Amino acid sequence: MTKSDPVSFLPLPQAQFHVLVALTDGEMHGYAIMQAVEDSSDGVVRMGPATLYGTLKRLVDSGLAEELDGSPSPQDDQRRRYYRLTGLGEKVCTAESTRLSRLVQRSRSNLRPRLA
Amino acid sequence: MSTHRRIYESMLWLYPRDFRRNYGDDLVQNFADLLGDRGIRSTWARTSVDLIVTVPRYRLESIMSEEKSAATINLTLAVLSVGGMLALTTGIYPITVVFWIAAIALAFVQRGALARAIRTPSTNRRRKRIRIAAVLSLVCAAALFSYFVDLNDEKISTASLLIHNAIGNTAMIGAIVYLIAGLLTPRSSATSRTA
């Protein structure tokens, strides 16, 4: 059973959010997602293969991502499975980004006196 | 390279069958990609941690999945509790300990209200669970005290000992589960701020 209200998915587990953010760049196969996550986190988040595919399974099961029937173009590796965001996945990613940005704003405003 | 790939491939048997079937080829491909890009040491460093973290997690999730009915889990829980009780009665204490630990672990992985509830912040529920644990501890202590008193009574029947044991064991497992659940239940934010 999949939920349809984006807010009901929040807060997203860190690994799921990283993968969703990676997929906002377009369709990707597993290893490309792994690299994108590492790049976007400046090397802080390093997923292992099973963590990555476990996360992808959860995202697909909950309707936030979907597997493509084939590769996006003939030049791409035909042996690999490609994934992309669904409409719901985009909404959830946006909602989580908004939630986190509010949290960061609040944190900055609370910490400003100490940082000054 | 192919040796490392084969070793990793053989380790995939540690994962639940469904996960292995669905993603086995992808995992091996991913591992091979890592080997090519990052080298042997870096790949194994990352993959070892991954295996240590994900194997028990996915195994537990597999137990918790919808396919395993709650009835099967409850039945196993009951068998483990009764097995622990019988082992205690017959004096095989190591088996008692193993059965109790397995029963407690199973109670936690069960997709039950208690397992889900410990992720929901609630100061009241936290207190309530710890109070229930305290009451169950008293019941357990009383049952065990009565059991050891009865042991010195030559006329006491085996059935009576078993009943004491059953009450004591059930209360003890319940007390441990409720105590851990209570301690793991996060306090609600409003209360923790004022505390």
Q: Which residues contact B138 (CB under 8 A, 6 or more apart)?
A: none
- Model ipTM value: 0.87
Chain centroid to Cα B174, Å, comes to: 13
Tell me if B54 and A48 make a contact (CB, 8 A cut-off).
yes
Contact between A101 and A40 under an 8 Å Cβ cutoff? The reply is no
Scan residues 46-85 of B and list those with Cβ closer than 8 Å to A. Answer: 46-47, 49-51, 53-55, 57-58
Contact between A96 and A103 under an 8 Å Cβ cutoff? The reply is no
Q: How far apart are CA B6 and CA B13, in angstroms?
A: 12
Q: What is the pLDDT of residue A115?
A: 63
Q: How far apart are CA B44 and CA B166, in angstroms?
A: 48
Looking only at the bridges linking them, the beta strands covering A28-29 and A65-67 are unpaired
Average pLDDT, integer, range A55-62: 93
Residue among B26, B34, B46 whose CB faces A53 most closely = B26
Query: Which structure tokens are listed for B121?
Result: 């912040």
Q: How far apart are CA A100 and CA A106, in angstroms?
A: 10
Q: Is A106 on the interface with B (CB under 8 A)?
A: no
Calculate the dihedral angle through the C-alpha atoms of A7, A8, A10, A12, rounding to the nearest 10 degrees: -120
Q: How far apart are CA A115 and CA B87, in angstroms?
A: 62
Tell me if B26 and A51 make a contact (CB, 8 A cut-off).
no
d(CA A91, nearest CA chain B) in Å: 24
Top pLDDT among B193 and A110 is at: A110
Centre a 10 Å sphere on the Cβ of residue B62 and count the other Cβ atoms it contains: 16
pLDDT in tens, chain B (195 residues): 689 999 999 999 999 888 999 999 999 999 999 999 999 999 999 999 999 999 988 887 876 665 555 666 667 777 787 787 777 777 788 888 888 888 777 776 665 555 555 666 677 878 888 898 899 899 888 888 887 777 777 676 777 777 777 788 778 877 887 788 788 777 776 544 443
| A104 Rama sector, left if φ>0, alpha if ψ -120 to 50, beta otherwise | alpha
To the question of pTM greater than 0.90 for the whole model, the response is no
Q: Which residues contact A86 (CB under 8 A, 6 or more apart)?
A: A63, A64, A65, A66
Tell me if B58 and A51 make a contact (CB, 8 A cut-off).
no
Q: Which residue of A has its CA nearest to B23?
A: A53
Q: Is A44 on the interface with B (CB under 8 A)?
A: no
Average pLDDT, integer, range A59-87: 85
What does the DSSP 8-state code read for residue B92? -
| B80 Rama sector, left if φ>0, alpha if ψ -120 to 50, beta otherwise | alpha
